[in-house]
């Protein structure tokens, strides 16, 4: 309401540590925490701990971790595209149907027409881009709300799937495609003999070590560059603590996976996508413009952002990612089916919102959406491990979604009231 402006933003606080009292922030032993942006990670950790206890540790066994990743990879890939669309203030209801139609196309090209698999893969991705361009045109240039265009797309592309498949599945897929969707890296270097890591795959462990080293270097260089520019950085102890926690997490994951069947290829793909899209969203002009559009459309226009073009391309991107998910889903089942991708759009949208996206747009993170997706995945998996019926799983997921968005609205309202 009123804008008493003034002194609540006075100088006196330095940097991020010891920031002034702001709504949605709690202070833990001098480390201030923005609940709105980091609450999701705390919630994820809590849910993992909860289900580990409830399942007597079954949740974190090597095989189960591997299952969770492989079974949810396609929704996570969709969530990456979806979060960009939601940040821009739009929505895409058609991704489930696009998963189905691109899977069907891949099957027709590879199985029925005998195209070599790399070519068929590229053709399918191109088809996904084309579908995205079709929807992006109506939304960005014709000005129809995304909700309507993609609702129509949901029907259109499901109809197209049924036309192509004629109500039956097509399979089996070439081995390479199945490996991508369902397979694991080979034990190129043999296994570790004994000790704590008993039986773990050496190659996977090496990848893990390289990943950790890469993470350390990147964090260290960022920190030094910031210091070089005279920006305040977090204290050394906190930096080391954070980096060590990240390293421990990666190491735990890799060791567990290495003890099962090595690294799933989809995990590798997912890791690359998450990294690439996070960088894109934060560090490129294009990514920044997505946030600008969602934050204030008119201000973006008046700042020279070519809004139509940006919106068009994020839908093209969504189409491509849906095609990737379509190929992986079909490859995993070894068959393209007419009901493939049913309600995937809802999972992807839920992942984005649980992961901290704002209903009005302008807010959200790729990593957040992935975490949101993982929260749902862990709930699904954990509850089925303890034998909950599916209706109860649905109930819990519904409540979690509502609670996450309610929390977001609540913190925002408190922030507004404090002003």
Partner 1 sequence: MTEHILRMSGITKTFPGVKALQDVNLSVRRGEIHAICGENGAGKSTLMKVLSGVYPHGDYEGEIFFEGERCEFGGIRDSEHAGIVIIHQELALSPQLSIAENIFLGNERAKRGFIDWNRTNYEAAELMKRVGLRENPTTPISDIGVGKQQLVEIAKALSKEVRLLILDEPTAALNDDDSAHLLDLLRGLRDEGITCVIISHKLNEVTAIADAVTIIRDGRTIETLDMAADAVTEDRIISGMVGRALDNRFPPHEPTIGEEALRVEDWTVYSPSQPDRKVVDSAALTLRRGEIVGLAGLMGAGRTELAMSLFGRTYGVRISGKVFKDGKPVEIRNVQDAINHGLAYASEDRKRYGLNLIEDIKRNISAAGLRGLARRGWVNENEEYRIAEEFHRSMNIKAPSVNSVVGQLSGGNQQKVVLSKWIMTEPDVLILDEPTRGIDVGAKYEIYTIINQLADQGKAVLVISSELPELLGLCDRIYTLSEGRITGEVPRQEATQESLMHLMTKGQE
> Which residues within the stretch 115-144 sit at the binding site for partner 1 (CB under 8 A)?
none
The token pair that represents 347 in the structure block: 């999972």
Backbone angles phi, psi at 393, to 5 degrees: -60, -45
Instruction: Verify binding: residue 8, partner 1, rule CB under 8 A.
Output: yes
| Distance separating alpha carbons of residues 349 and 401, to the nearest angstrom | 10
Instruction: Verify binding: residue 296, partner 1, rule CB under 8 A.
Output: yes
Stretch in the footprint of partner 1 (CB under 8 A) among 73-81, 90-98, 221-229, 267-275: 221-229
Of the candidate residues 14, 167, 168, 343, the single one contacting partner 1 (CB under 8 A): 14
Instruction: Verify binding: residue 30, partner 1, rule CB under 8 A.
Output: no
Stretch in the footprint of partner 1 (CB under 8 A) among 25-33, 99-107, 299-307, 334-342: 299-307
Neighbours of 209 (CB within 10 A): 14
Instruction: Verify binding: residue 21, partner 1, rule CB under 8 A.
Output: no
Largest CA distance in the chain: 70
Of 157 and 291, which has the nearer Cβ to partner 1? 291
Of 27 and 282, which has the nearer Cβ to partner 1? 282
Stretch in the footprint of partner 1 (CB under 8 A) among 66-74, 251-259, 282-290, 403-411: 282-290
Stretch in the footprint of partner 1 (CB under 8 A) among 114-122, 193-201, 246-254, 290-298: 290-298
117-136 and 175-182 helices, crossing angle to 10° = 60
| Distance separating alpha carbons of residues 254 and 145, to the nearest angstrom | 43
DSSP labels, 204-255: HHHHHHHHHHHHHHHHHHHHHHHHHTT-----HHHHHHHHHHHHHHHHHHHH
Instruction: Verify binding: residue 9, partner 1, rule CB under 8 A.
Output: yes
Please classify residue 196 by burial: count the beta carbons closer than 10 Å to its beta carbon, then call 0-12 exposed, 13-18 middle and 19+ buried: exposed
Of 188 and 410, which has the nearer Cβ to partner 1? 410
Find the shortest distance in angstroms from Cβ 227 to partner 1. Answer: 10
The dihedral sign for the CA sequence 283, 289, 290, 294: positive
Q: Which residues bind partner 1 (CB under 8 A)?
A: 2-6, 8-16, 19-20, 225-226, 228-232, 282-286, 288-289, 291-292, 295-296, 298-306, 358, 362-363, 419
């Amino acid at each position: 309401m009123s804008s008493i402006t003034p002194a609540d933003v006075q100088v006196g606080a330095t940097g991020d540590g010891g920031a002034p009292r702001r709504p949605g922030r709690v202070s833990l032993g001098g480390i201030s925490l923005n609940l709105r942006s980091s609450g999701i990670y705390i919630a994820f950790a809590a849910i993992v701990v909860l289900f580990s206890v409830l399942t007597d540790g079954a949740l974190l066994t090597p095989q189960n971790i591997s299952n969770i990743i492989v079974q949810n990879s396609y929704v996570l890939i969709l969530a990456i595209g979806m979060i960009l669309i939601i940040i821009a203030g739009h929505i895409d209801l058609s991704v489930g149907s696009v998963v189905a139609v691109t899977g069907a196309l891949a099957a027709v090209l590879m199985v029925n027409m005998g195209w070599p698999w790399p070519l068929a893969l590229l053709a399918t991705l191109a088809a996904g881009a084309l579908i995205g361009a079709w929807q992006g045109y109506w939304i960005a240039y014709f000005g129809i709300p995304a909700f309507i265009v993609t609702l129509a797309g949901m029907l259109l592309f499901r109809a197209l799937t049924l036309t192509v498949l004629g109500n039956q599945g097509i399979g089996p897929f070439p081995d390479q495609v199945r490996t991508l969707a369902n397979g694991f890296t080979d034990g190129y270097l043999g296994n570790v003999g004994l000790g704590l890591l008993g039986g773990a795959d050496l190659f996977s462990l090496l990848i893990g070590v390289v990943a950790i080293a890469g993470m350390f270097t990147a964090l260290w260089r960022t920190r030094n560059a910031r210091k070089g520019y005279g920006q305040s950085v977090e204290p050394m102890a906190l930096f080391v603590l954070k980096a060590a926690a990240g390293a421990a997490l990666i190491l735990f994951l890799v060791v567990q996976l290495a003890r099962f069947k090595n690294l799933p290829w989809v995990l590798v793909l997912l890791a690359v996508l998450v990294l690439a899209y996070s960088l894109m969203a934060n560090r490129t002009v294009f990514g920044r413009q997505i946030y600008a559009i969602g934050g204030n459309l008119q201000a973006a226009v008046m700042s020279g952002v070519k809004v139509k073009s940006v919106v068009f391309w994020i839908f093209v991107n969504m189409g491509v990612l849906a095609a990737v998910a379509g190929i992986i889903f079909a490859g995993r089942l070894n068959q393209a089916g007419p009901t493939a991708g049913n309600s995937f759009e809802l999972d992807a949208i839920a992942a984005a919102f649980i992961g901290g996206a704002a209903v009005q747009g302008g807010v959200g993170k790729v990593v957040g959406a992935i975490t949101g997706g993982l929260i749902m995945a862990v709930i699904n998996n954990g509850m089925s491990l303890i034998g909950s019926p599916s209706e109860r799983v649905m109930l819990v997921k519904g409540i979690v979604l509502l609670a996450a968005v309610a929390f977001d609205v609540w913190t925002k309202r408190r922030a507004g009231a404090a002003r």
